[in-house]
Amino acid sequence: MILFYHLTRSTAEETAATLLSRAADRGMRVMLRGTDPAALARLDDLLWLHPEEGFLPHGMQGGPHDADQPILIGTGAATNGAVALMLTGGAGVSEDEARAMERVWILFDGADPAALAHARGQWSQLTAAGLPAQYWSEESGRWEKRAGKNE
C-alpha cells in the first residue's frame, strides 16, 4: 500500500516522527529516503528526543551498522532489510521497489507547487502500474482519507 500524505498543517519531520513511531511499535524496519541532507539531519535530531517515545532507534545511512538499523535515514537504497519506505523532499521510488514493500509513505508539502506536481506524477505512475494507493489530507485539522485507487 502506498500512502500519500498531503501536508498542510504539520511539517514533514513531525509527520514522519509520528508514522515512524507507529511503524516501530509494529516491529517494521523502515528506510526513510529524502533528498535534502539538512532536512534529514533535523529528522535525525528529532528522533533522538521524540515526544512520545523519548527515542526511536535509528541511524543515518553511511555508517558501519546500516544493516542493523530498524529505521535508516538517508538518500540511497534501503540497506537495512526495510519492509517499509518513507519518502520526503521529492525522493523517488520505482514501481518494483514500491511493489516489494509492505508500505510506502510519500510525504509532500501542500504549499509547494513543485512538490504537489511531483506527488501527482508519482500517484499517476504508481497507480497506473496497479499499485494500491491512498491519498490523505490534514486540511480539515485532522488526517482524512480523500481518495483511494486499486485498493
Place of cell 511499535: 25
If you average pLDDT over residues 35-44, what whole number do you get?
90
Residue 41, C-alpha cell as written in the block: 539531519
Closest of 83, 106, 85 to residue 74, by C-alpha: 85
Fold of the 2-149 domain: Rossmann fold (3.40.50)
As given in the structure block, the three cell numbers for residue 118 are: 511531483
Please state the pTM of the whole predicted model.
0.92
Question: What's the farthest any 2 CA atoms get from each other in the chain?
Answer: 43
- Of the pLDDT bands very low, low, confident and very high (cuts 50, 70, 90), residue 139 is confident
| pLDDT at res. 53 | 53
Confidence band (pLDDT; 50, 70, 90) for 2?
Answer: very high
The model's confidence at residue 46, banded by pLDDT at 50, 70 and 90, is: confident
At 51, the pLDDT band (50, 70, 90 cuts) reads low
- Which residues are 74's β-sheet partners? 33
- Which sign, positive or negative, has the C-alpha torsion 132, 137, 140, 146? negative
